């Protein structure tokens, strides 16, 4: 059975991407393919936690099929913008690529927890992987220049910092833009804090160079991309006769909003629909509070109620009412200018109910201890500061707490970066307060009223 094949010569590598997953392939790689008719912008992508995607893509010439599923039918295309795929552990390849002056962009999709930030927004120096990476980098960048073997660095800040050190030594004045594409409020500032905190700990000179030479771009990204199952791959093979183990399934909707702070060259992503703005904060919050927050509420309430997908959860009247309340809160907090909040709500309603997309609630529910800081805690803080009812955000936090406690009591492992600590707090005398204290210590200290959990 044939695999997807590359039809044109590979573009030269000018973009490095960290976090080779389905979302990157449905979003940044798709935008680049559609904005680069001359094939001038090849992407070298590095995997995140698992090396599997690099191996899958290598078997089929680094190309893959994007299956776009909408209520009115499907679209099928082969995407060729990725021209090389590496295991994330291959820091030698990362350093080699970043030494090249023609490489002018690094994009990232490493998920919220990949930034290794603590609740205060700074680099989590208590994270054992962070501590280990900083020790390795301190030795490598010190007077003895101890080598760093591939695979030794475990975190995104550690690996990227090691790559940036190579660029500083080879082409210190060549422009480079760092473009995080993860669901964090002010994700550019979050990336900058992670890198500067790490660099300051191991090489103040490197920290100063990053602050002076890097263009760190903030973005808001949006395209629902559910996890592909073996059944999806088998169904695609039966339908098309194409054997594609790297298949990506996504929705027709796509949005990419970026701050226009590039000093170096970049693709004309605006030709594929990207939007460049001076102030991205309202767009980020619209997406985090309305799409991602609603997704999280549907996930936690839906899983407790026996639902499996977003479409099933939004069809439940209670789930739909909770989502509408979250959207009402967002509208009360967000500025009206340029955001078209009524239109955005209408589009989300249609997207959530899309019968062709099976967006699994378990996938959304993962890592709530990190995700809810931007999706629920930030709007709740703002509501409290403005004297607006934050009941909808509190309901989301309540739903997460009930979900965590139910999972722990049922003996099911939590898919969360803080799983062990969550399990300990779920068994405390007052689980809601203990869990809120981990999520947002200031709100716990302010005695934000949460629903009790039945014994």
The burial of 444, by beta-carbon neighbours within 10 Å (0-12 exposed, 13-18 middle, 19 or more buried), is given as middle
Q: Give Cα separations from 116 to 123, 193, 195 (angstroms).
A: 6, 10, 10
The residues of the chain scoring below 70 in pLDDT are 453-455
What are the structure tokens assigned to 301, written together? 């309430």
Answer yes or no: are the C-beta atoms of 289 and 375 closer than 8 Å: yes
Instruction: Determine which helix (DSSP H) or strand (DSSP E) holds 222, and give its type and residue range.
Output: strand 219-222
What's the pLDDT score for residue 454?
Answer: 62
What's the pLDDT score for residue 71?
Answer: 83
Q: How far apart are CA 216 and CA 331, in angstroms?
A: 29
What's the pLDDT score for residue 455?
Answer: 55
Answer yes or no: are the C-beta atoms of 14 and 40 closer than 8 Å: yes
Answer yes or no: are the C-beta atoms of 250 and 224 closer than 8 Å: yes
What's the pLDDT score for residue 240?
Answer: 94
Q: Look up the pTM and report it.
A: 0.91
Q: How far apart are CA 453 and CA 455, in angstroms?
A: 6
Q: How far apart are CA 135 and CA 110, in angstroms?
A: 22
Q: How far apart are CA 15 and CA 104, in angstroms?
A: 6
Residues 297-335: pLDDT tens digits?
A: 999 999 999 999 999 999 999 999 999 999 999 999 998
Which residue's entry shows tokens 């009930």?
402
What are the structure tokens assigned to 403, written together? 């979900």
Q: Which residues contact 123 (CB under 8 A, 6 or more apart)?
A: 116, 117, 130, 157, 193, 194, 197, 198
Q: How far apart are CA 121 and CA 193, in angstroms?
A: 8
How would you list the strands of the sheet with 105-108, edge to edge?
82-86, 42-46, 13-18, 105-108, 176-180, 214-216
- The alpha carbon of 190 is separated from its chain's Cα centroid by a whole number of angstroms, namely 12
Q: How far apart are CA 175 and CA 365, in angstroms?
A: 38
Q: What are the DSSP calls for 92-136, one per residue?
A: HHHHHHHT-TT--EEEE---GGGG-B-TTSSB-TTSHHHHHHHHH
Crossing angle of the two packed helices 128-141 and 156-170, in degrees rounded to 10: 20
């Amino acid at each position: 059975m044939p695999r997807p094949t590359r039809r044109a010569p590979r573009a030269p590598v000018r973009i490095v991407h960290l976090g080779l997953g389905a979302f990157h392939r449905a979003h940044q790689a798709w935008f680049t393919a559609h904005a680069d008719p001359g094939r001038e912008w090849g992407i070298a992508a590095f995997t995140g936690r698992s090396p599997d995607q690099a191996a899958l893509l290598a078997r089929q010439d680094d190309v893959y099929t994007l299956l776009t599923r909408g209520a009115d039918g499907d679209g099928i295309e082969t995407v060729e913008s990725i021209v090389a795929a590496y295991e994330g552990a291959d820091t030698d390849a990362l350093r080699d690529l970043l030494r090249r002056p023609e490489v002018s962009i690094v994009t990232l999709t490493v998920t919220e927890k990949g930034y290794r930030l603590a609740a205060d927004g700074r680099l989590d120096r208590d994270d054992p992987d962070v501590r280990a990476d900083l020790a390795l980098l301190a030795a490598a960048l010190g007077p003895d220049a101890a080598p760093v073997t591939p695979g030794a660095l475990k975190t995104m800040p550690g690996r990227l910092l090691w790559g940036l050190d190579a660029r500083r030594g080879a082409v210190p004045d060549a422009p480079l833009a760092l473009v995080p594409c993860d669901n964090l409020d002010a994700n550019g500032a979050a990336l900058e804090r992670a890198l500067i905190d790490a660099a300051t700990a191991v090489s103040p000179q490197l920290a100063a160079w990053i602050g002076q030479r890097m263009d760190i771009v903030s973005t808001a990204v949006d395209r629902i991309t559910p996890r592909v199952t073996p059944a999806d791959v088998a169904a695609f093979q039966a339908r098309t006769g194409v054997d594609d183990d790297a298949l990506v399934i996504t929705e027709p909707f796509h949005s990419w909003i970026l701050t226009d702070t590039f000093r170096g060259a970049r693709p004309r992503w605006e030709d594929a629909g990207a939007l460049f703005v001076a102030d991205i904060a309202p767009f980020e919050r619209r997406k985090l509070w309305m799409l991602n927050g609603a997704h999280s509420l549907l996930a936690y309430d839906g899983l407790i109620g026996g639902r499996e997908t977003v479409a099933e959860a939004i069809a439940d009247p209670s789930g739909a009412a909770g989502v509408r309340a979250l959207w009402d809160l967002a509208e009360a907090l967000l500025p009206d200018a340029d955001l078209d909040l009524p239109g955005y709500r209408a589009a989300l309603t249609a997207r959530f109910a899309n019968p062709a997309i099976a967006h699994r609630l378990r996938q959304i529910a993962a890592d709530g201890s990190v995700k809810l800081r931007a999706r629920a805690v930030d709007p709740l803080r703002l509501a409290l500061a403005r004297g607006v009812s934050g009941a909808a955000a509190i309901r989301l936090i309540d739903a997460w707490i009930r979900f965590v406690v139910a999972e722990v009591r049922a003996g099911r492992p939590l898919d969360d970066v803080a799983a062990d600590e969550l399990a300990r707090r779920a068994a405390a005398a007052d689980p809601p307060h203990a869990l809120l204290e981990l999520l947002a210590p200031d709100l716990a200290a302010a005695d934000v009223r949460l629903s009790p959990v039945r014994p």
